[in-house]
Amino acid sequence: MGLHQRKRCEIRPIGVPCVIRHIRQSVCLQHIDIPFKTPALTGVFSVFFPAQQMKPISQDNVIRTYRFYAPLYDLLFGAVLEPGRRALTETVNSVMPASVLEVGVGTGLTLERYPASSSIVGIDISQEMLEIARQRAALLIEREIRLEAMDAEALDFPDDYFECITIPYVLSVTPNPERLVSEIRRVCRKDGTILILNHFSGSRFWWLLERTVRSMANRIGFRSDFCFSEQILKHDWEVLSVRKVNFLGLSKLVVIRNT
Ligand SMILES: C[S@@+](CC[C@H](N)C(=O)[O-])C[C@H]1O[C@@H](n2cnc3c(N)ncnc32)[C@H](O)[C@@H]1O
């Protein structure tokens, strides 16, 4: 925020637009305390929405959560997250890579839209999600699709193996996103394409929901407090583009060159 704007807010500390702007800016910068200048307002806000570290998720919980979600997943998250998946596969089609690794392939909702000429490997830690993906893949005859149970934080592939890696709605679900990023960078070719599709905190429309479900990360199977600058910009890869996708910009599609 510019000095000029900050000054205006200090003069009119409880103006509604000013308060909304402050709340939005504070959502992503969770390591910084709420930037309100009015002590009373700061106190009230932090009682309801205390600034916290990113919530931990255990591997057991990911497995348990997606065992529960598997039969309902397509119904709950199929259509609602579909525009993002479409944008992701369109980008893959514009790159036309020879090989694609999809990390956290889930029930295989993207599989049919990858380029027919690409060799596809999908991995997931949940056997139940993977079983549905296998049924989908079985219908895609004449396509080269391999599905395997594997932890994305300990990939069983050699270095520089894939030309393109996609990570749709997984980065804020995995227990240790940094370890996942390090692994996908290892198995992705230098100059290869990495596509991350995810919700990041700080959205204009979704901040209240983010804050409300934040403490439930381990139960609902994803973190809502997932900061773009901390999870994407801090790595020394090249971010080529960032585009909002899904209803009211719920998610972002990030296109990255592996350097
Ligand atoms: C929100 S779902 C996304 C599924 C699918 N990509 C989609 O577009 O609907 C997250 C998936 O990531 C998987 N997952 C989470 N952490 C993982 C990890 N460390 N390794 C492999 N899969 C993981 C979960 O089992 C789940 O199937």
Give residue 97's identity as a one-letter amino acid code.
P
* Tens digits of residue pLDDT in 44-55: 444 454 445 666
> Ligand 1 in contact with 181 (CB < 6 A)?
no
Q: Which residues pair with 252 in a beta bridge?
A: 198, 244
Residues with Cβ within 8 Å of 127's Cβ and at least 6 positions away in sequence, in order, are 67, 149
Query: How far away, in angstroms, is 156 Cα from ligand 1 center?
Result: 17
At residue 23, φ and ψ (nearest 5 deg) are -60, -45
Distance CA 108, CA 130 (A): 8
pTM here is 0.78
> Ligand 1 in contact with 183 (CB < 6 A)?
no
* Tens digits of residue pLDDT in 109-118: 999 999 999 9
Which H or E run contains 9? helix 3-11
Which atom of ligand 1 is nearest to 105's Cα?
6
Residues with Cβ within 8 Å of 239's Cβ and at least 6 positions away in sequence, in order, are 232, 233, 254, 255, 256
Residue 23: exposure state from Cβ atoms within 10 A (0-12, 13-18, ≥19):
middle
> Ligand 1 in contact with 170 (CB < 6 A)?
yes
> Ligand 1 in contact with 153 (CB < 6 A)?
yes
Residues with Cβ within 8 Å of 63's Cβ and at least 6 positions away in sequence, in order, are 125, 126
Distance CA 70, CA 133 (A): 10
Query: How far away, in angstroms, is 123 Cα from ligand 1 center?
Result: 8
Q: What is the pLDDT of residue 25?
A: 40
Q: What is the pLDDT of residue 247?
A: 83
- DSSP state letters, 15-79: -HHHHHHHHHHHHH-TTSPP--S-HHHHHHHHHHS---PPPP--HHHHHHHHHHHTTTHIIIIIT
* Tens digits of residue pLDDT in 137-148: 999 999 999 999
> Ligand 1 in contact with 169 (CB < 6 A)?
yes
CA-closest residue to ligand 1 atom 11: 104
CATH (one of 1.10.150.530, 3.40.50.150, 3.30.70.2860, 3.40.50.300) for 59-206+216-257: 3.40.50.150
182-218 exposure pattern, b = at least 16 Cβ within 10 A, e = fewer: ebbbebbbeebbbbbbbbbbbbeebbeebbebbeebb
pLDDT band, residue 229 (cuts 50/70/90): confident
* Tens digits of residue pLDDT in 184-205: 999 999 999 999 999 987 776 6
* Tens digits of residue pLDDT in 69-97: 999 999 999 999 999 999 999 999 999 99
> Ligand 1 in contact with 69 (CB < 6 A)?
no
Tell me: pLDDT of 127 over 70: yes
> Ligand 1 in contact with 62 (CB < 6 A)?
yes
> Ligand 1 in contact with 171 (CB < 6 A)?
no
CA-closest residue to ligand 1 atom 4: 106
> Ligand 1 in contact with 151 (CB < 6 A)?
yes
Q: Looking at the chain, which residues constitute the CATH 3.40.50.150 domain(s)? A: 59-206+216-257
Q: What is the pLDDT of residue 56?
A: 78
- What is the tally of helices (H) and strands (E) in the chain? 11, 7
Given the DSSP bridges, would you call strands 251-257 and 99-103 parallel, antiparallel or unpaired?
A: unpaired
Which atom of ligand 1 is nearest to 102's Cα?
6
Of the candidate ranges 38-52, 122-136, 168-182, the one whose mean pLDDT is the lowest: 38-52
Alpha-carbon distances of 185 from 114, 119, 154, 160, 196, rounded to whole Å: 21, 19, 12, 8, 12
